[in-house]
């Protein structure tokens, strides 16, 4: 692999990554000022320490107690029973997210939303140097604060990877700039899990190879990484050298629609399981209709009490938008694969292999027509 050849490309772009600070709990604090200064946890109902589910987001006061997103809500309760526990209000968060994304989209022609509260902006055509990019970032922070009264952290770098790691470097309300000639120094001491797509499992495997920091990874034998991790190993090695050619681009096509339900208590009540499956199918169907989509593949997800999870899918011979077809298929998949000797923790329904219905095709055609495309 020739690292040198890529440096020209990577030095031509200036990318911003904008990340809202503890978004859900920040919104809750904004809506109710009496929460300010207190530990706030948004997530599942803790039920005095017996609740299931996890922490979605928590503010910095709650983090002081060791609480973090993804943590079981029962553990959060043990760490801080006096924190304020709130259920997530997705309707509100989605509404505010749209306001924020509209502000950001106006700042960059090349824009990509990433989750509900993050976005990448390619501002290469808008600013000439990092000094200008910094001014732009400060303006963005001001505009967001002025309009929605929330703070964000921004990272600026020569590609998405660097920008993303930089936005996480100083929080909350941070601004971190990493110029192309500073990337190596910036990345080197950071733990490998800071890299995009290096999660818990990959980090463990890397640690056993004696790789702990991104610097360790950059100095490791690239062909050995490729042998061990395949394409992912190749990408990791490039990332460790600060190289990332991926484009900032908005994705609009939906690949799948799914709904899952974890039972309040693990159950072997077949009627409850079937009723839940049907209601999940209906919810998925409603979203299909709303988006004018048809499906071809149906997947049922079963999770047992020991957390063992299986997925079973069936691809139909035709595309359909029929609720009857969906419920028939999910019920069949469930009946053919259910283990009756174990209690069920979760069931899920997913549709994929999606395509537009006639109605959506017409809408797209009209939209293109009105824009002269």
Binding flags for DNA, 222-261, as an x/- string (CB under 7 A): --------xxx------------------x--xxxxxxxx
Return the residues of window 17-76 that contact DNA according to CB under 7 A: 44, 52-54, 56, 69-70, 72, 74-75
State the Cα–Cα distance between residues 167 and 160, nearest whole angstrom: 11
Q: Where are the beta strands (DSSP E) in 34-193?
A: 40-43, 55-58, 84-86, 110-113, 118-122, 152-157, 175-177
Of the two residues 134 and 261, which places its CB atom closer to DNA in the complex?
261
What is the bridge-based pairing of β-strands 55-58 and 84-86? unpaired
Binding segment for DNA among 109-117, 120-128, 210-218, 320-328 (CB under 7 A)?
109-117
Q: Is 48 part of the annotated catalytic residue set? A: no
- From the list 182, 203, 216, 226, which residue makes contact with DNA (rule: CB under 7 A)? 203
Q: Residue 129 CB, nearest distance to DNA (Å)?
A: 27
3-state secondary structure of 369: helix
For residue 300, give the nearest of 276, 324, 268 by alpha carbon: 276
Q: Residue 253 CB, nearest distance to DNA (Å)?
A: 7
- From the list 262, 267, 322, 331, which residue makes contact with DNA (rule: CB under 7 A)? 262
Return the residues of window 119-158 that contact DNA according to CB under 7 A: none
What number of other Cβ atoms are within 10 A of residue 286's Cβ? 13
On the CB side of 294, how many CA atoms lie within 13 Å of its CA?
A: 17
Does 89 bind DNA (CB under 7 A)? Our answer is: no
- Among 29, 48, 118, 250, the active-site one is 118
State the Cα–Cα distance between residues 95 and 147, nearest whole angstrom: 13
- From the list 7, 202, 267, 357, which residue makes contact with DNA (rule: CB under 7 A)? 202
Return the residues of window 302-361 that contact DNA according to CB under 7 A: 306-307, 309-315, 345-346, 348, 352-353
Of the two residues 121 and 130, which places its CB atom closer to DNA in the complex?
121
What is the bridge-based pairing of β-strands 40-43 and 84-86? parallel
- Specify whether the CB–CB gap between 356 and 293 falls below 8 A: yes
Q: Residue 29 CB, nearest distance to DNA (Å)?
A: 18
State the Cα–Cα distance between residues 110 and 264, nearest whole angstrom: 44
Of the two residues 60 and 304, which places its CB atom closer to DNA in the complex?
304
How does DSSP assign 226-253, residue by residue?
A: HHHHTHHHHHHHHHHTT-----------
User: Number of residues in contact with DNA, rule: CB under 7 A?
Assistant: 54
Q: Residue 106 CB, nearest distance to DNA (Å)?
A: 21
State the Cα–Cα distance between residues 103 and 190, nearest whole angstrom: 32
Binding site for DNA (CB under 7 A): 44, 52-54, 56, 69-70, 72, 74-75, 114-118, 164, 196-203, 230-232, 251, 254-262, 287, 296-297, 306-307, 309-315, 345-346, 348, 352-353
């Amino acid at each position: 692999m020739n690292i040198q050849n890529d440096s020209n490309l990577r030095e031509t772009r200036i990318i911003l990554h904008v990340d809202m600070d503890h978004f859900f709990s920040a919104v809750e604090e904004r809506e109710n000022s009496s929460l300010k200064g207190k530990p706030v946890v948004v997530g599942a109902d803790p039920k005095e320490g017996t609740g299931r589910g996890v922490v979605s987001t928590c503010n910095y006061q709650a983090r002081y107690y060791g609480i973090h997103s993804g943590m079981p809500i029962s553990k959060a309760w043990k760490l801080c029973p006096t924190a304020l526990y709130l259920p997530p209000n997705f309707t509100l968060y989605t509404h505010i997210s749209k306001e924020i994304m509209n502000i950001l989209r106006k700042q960059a022609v090349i824009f990509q939303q990433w989750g509900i509260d993050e976005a990448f902006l390619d501002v290469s055509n808008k600013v000439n140097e990092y000094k200008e990019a910094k001014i732009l970032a400060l303006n963005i922070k001001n505009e967001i604060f002025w309009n929605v009264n929330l703070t964000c952290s921004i990272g600026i770098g020569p590609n998405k990877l660097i920008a993303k790691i930089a936005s996480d470097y100083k929080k909350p309300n941070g601004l971190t700039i990493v110029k192309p000639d500073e990337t190596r120094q910036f990345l080197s001491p950071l733990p490998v899990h800071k890299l995009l797509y290096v999660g818990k499992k990959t980090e463990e495997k890397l640690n056993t190879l004696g790789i702990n920091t991104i610097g360790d990874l950059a100095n490791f034998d690239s062909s050995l990484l490729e042998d061990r991790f395949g394409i992912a190993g190749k990408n990791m090695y490039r990332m460790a050298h600060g190289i990332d050619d991926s484009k900032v681009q908005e994705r609009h096509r939906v690949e799948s629609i799914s709904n899952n339900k974890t039972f309040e208590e693990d159950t072997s009540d077949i009627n409850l399981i079937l009723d839940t499956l049907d209601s999940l199918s209906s919810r998925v169907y409603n979203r299909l209709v709303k988006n004018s989509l048809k499906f071809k593949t149906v997947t049922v997800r079963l999770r047992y009490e020991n957390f063992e999870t299986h997925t079973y899918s069936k691809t139909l011979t035709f595309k359909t938008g029929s609720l009857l077809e969906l419920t028939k298929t999910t019920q069949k998949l469930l009946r053919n694969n259910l283990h009756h000797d174990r209690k069920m923790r979760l069931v899920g329904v997913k549709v994929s292999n999606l395509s537009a219905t006639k109605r959506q095709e017409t809408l797209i055609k009209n939209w293109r027509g009105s824009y002269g495309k």
